[in-house]
Chain A
Amino acid sequence: MNRFINIKRIIQLCFLSKISIQNSERKIILRDLEKVVRYVSKLNQVNTNNMLPVLIIGVNNIYLRPDNFIMSDRKFLKDLRFSFYNLIKIKNF
């Protein structure tokens, strides 16, 4: 069991997600969260060394690898580049 998942964490997640949940729901969500987190944690066993993700836009950084894109459609990449430049403009990077 992930030691970081407890009722306190659920309350914190509810605050961040701006959702109120009842006490009875908290226990169910806690149980489900534990199960799912345990299940998805197995992804960390997959070796992804030297593997660059498809696209990540973080708060302070942007990794954009067009050659890594699922699609190789030129128009799609052009539109994406356009959105990317706009994002930089908006965020004032």
Chain B
Amino acid sequence: MIENITLYGASKKLRSREISSQYLVRRCFSHILGKNNVLKNFSVVNKNAIKESILSDKRYQQGRSLSLIDGIPISIKDIINTKHMKTTAASNILKDNISSHNATVVNKLRRNGAIIIGKTNLDEFAMGSATNTGIWGECNNYINISKTAGGSSGGAANSISSNMSLGSLGTDTGGSVRLPASFCGVVGMRPTYGRVSRFGLIAFASSLDQIGIVTKDVPSAALLLQYISGYDSKDATSSSKKTDNYILNIYKSLKEKKIGIPIEFFNNIDNIVIQKTLIKLIEFLKYNKINIRYISLASSNSVIATYYILAISEASSNLSRFTGTLFGSKLKLTDNKINFLSLYRGIHWGMEIKRRILLGTYVLNSHYADQYYFQAQKVRKLIHQDYIRNFELVDLIISPTSPILPFDLSKKQTNLINTYLIDIYNVGASIVGLPAISVNIGDKNTPIGIHIIGRFFDESSIINLASILESNYTT
């Protein structure tokens, strides 16, 4: 059905000339016009998208298409810089910000002919788990509009499930791509730290941030990853390791692979639906003669605390650059510069940002740095060793993506710690820098994400298992 076409399917149909790029872009725009007021997935749309799609169609007619993603409408999270569209990070402080440059990933997509259809909604500066702290409003889940779409890349994941774009780039600091993908019933992938350039991404926590992918199915995620990964001299943490052919690896056999299930994750699931799904999944893997091994990730009790100390410390440092002189809304200086600067930042920032900056300043304070920040860095090393030790025993680690199902928007998460704990299965991979993917194995109305973590730079294996689950597992 053309309505639910995937990125991978659209690529095939464009090449066989069954559909045109202009048709795809117009379809996406009609969904945006019809549903964005309610869902609030997009902050900005690209007015030149139709013109660009006409050019792409001409390229196909002349037999000189640029790549397999030429003419495909793709959305970008509104925290990744684009030259001709606003990049607001869903914050008042950057409300009118137009970047002077494109992010490397945006340049790569454009060079390959993809059509940037618009910018997607997020939590302010990507800090949140429900896409409800930004200036573009609260994102409602397309599957059930009374539920949250998750966050912080809620707009990206929801834009895919509601057919507003075929592929989307989000950012993942502590699960911001995988959690919304799980809540919206789509695929969300975080590549290895360094696999995809972060140049042009507005930093939240530099040692944890990574650009991720959201698509409707696993082959589409593999295809998109193929075009955005690779070394970039503009990003000092970018890796020069050669990228695999992800598409070729999708349908490999998993008989040789060992899959680890952390007992700590398995024992701590309170939600009956998720627990039953996980038991069924294990039966499915055993039935298909895939090697399963129960492992122990003893450090999993410390991951949330470690993640929050590191993330808020880095956020507090990264956000100090927003002084009202270089980016976004400009500050008119008065005689008392410091007071005015405080007032300006106080007015323009939301509560969540202020909370995290103040907490960051607290844990970095020289009196407490040993107790919190340095200790968190040491525990990070312990978590790293724990994962490395387990990856000597198994090839992949699986768990649910989230311990809960999408919660009601009316039920605001008042307990801060409970909000943080939503990401408990995701932050381990973020802290260590490992690749991970969330794939939906739930039914149409109750999406349940399964989280697969792989070894460093082994995106092929996580794509491989995710693809097998997607095509063979039935609820």
Contacts and interface: CB of A to CB of B under 8 A. Distances in A.
Interface string B303-346: 01110110000001000100000000000000000110111011
A48 B378 contact: yes
A7 B339 CA distance: 19
Contacts of B345: 18-20
Nearest to B372: A40
Interface string B455-468: 01000000000000
A20 B339 CA distance: 8
A35 to B, nearest CB: 6
A68 to B, nearest CB: 6
Interface string B332-372: 00000011011101110101001101111111010000011
B375 A76 contact: no
Contact of A46 (B302, B308, B456): B302
B455 to A, nearest CB: 12
A10 B346 CA distance: 14
26 contacts: A18-B338, A18-B341, A18-B342, A19-B345, A19-B354, A25-B354, A28-B351, A29-B358, A39-B305, A39-B420, A43-B302, A43-B379, A46-B302, A48-B378, A48-B379, A51-B378, A53-B377, A54-B384, A56-B374, A68-B381, A70-B193, A70-B384, A73-B240, A73-B241, A79-B236, A83-B236
A82 to B, nearest CB: 8
A76 B241 CA distance: 10
The 6 residue pairs across chains A and B that have the minimum distance between CB atoms: A20-B346, A53-B377, A48-B378, A75-B240, A20-B342, A40-B305
Interface residues of B, number: 55
A32 B359 CA distance: 9
Given A14-B358, A80-B236, A54 B305 contact: no
B377 A75 contact: no
A29 B354 CA distance: 9
Given A25-B351, A43-B375, A51-B378, 4 more contacts: A18-B320, A20-B339, A20-B342, A79-B236
Interface in B83-134: none
A16 interface: yes
A15 to B, nearest CB: 8
Contacts of B349: 19
Q: Is the interface of A mostly helix, strand, loop or mixed?
A: helix
Interface of A: 9-10, 13-22, 25, 28-29, 32-33, 35-37, 39-44, 46, 48, 51-56, 68, 70-71, 73-76, 79-80, 83
B362 A37 contact: yes
A72 to B, nearest CB: 8
Contacts of A48: 375, 378-379, 381-382
A40 B309 contact: yes
Interface string B422-460: 000000000011000000000000000000000010000
A40 B306 CA distance: 7
Contact of B377 (A9, A20, A22, A55): A55
Contacts of B351: 25, 28
Contacts of B362: 9, 13, 33, 37
A17 B316 contact: yes
Given A51-B382, A53-B377, A70-B384, A43 B354 contact: no
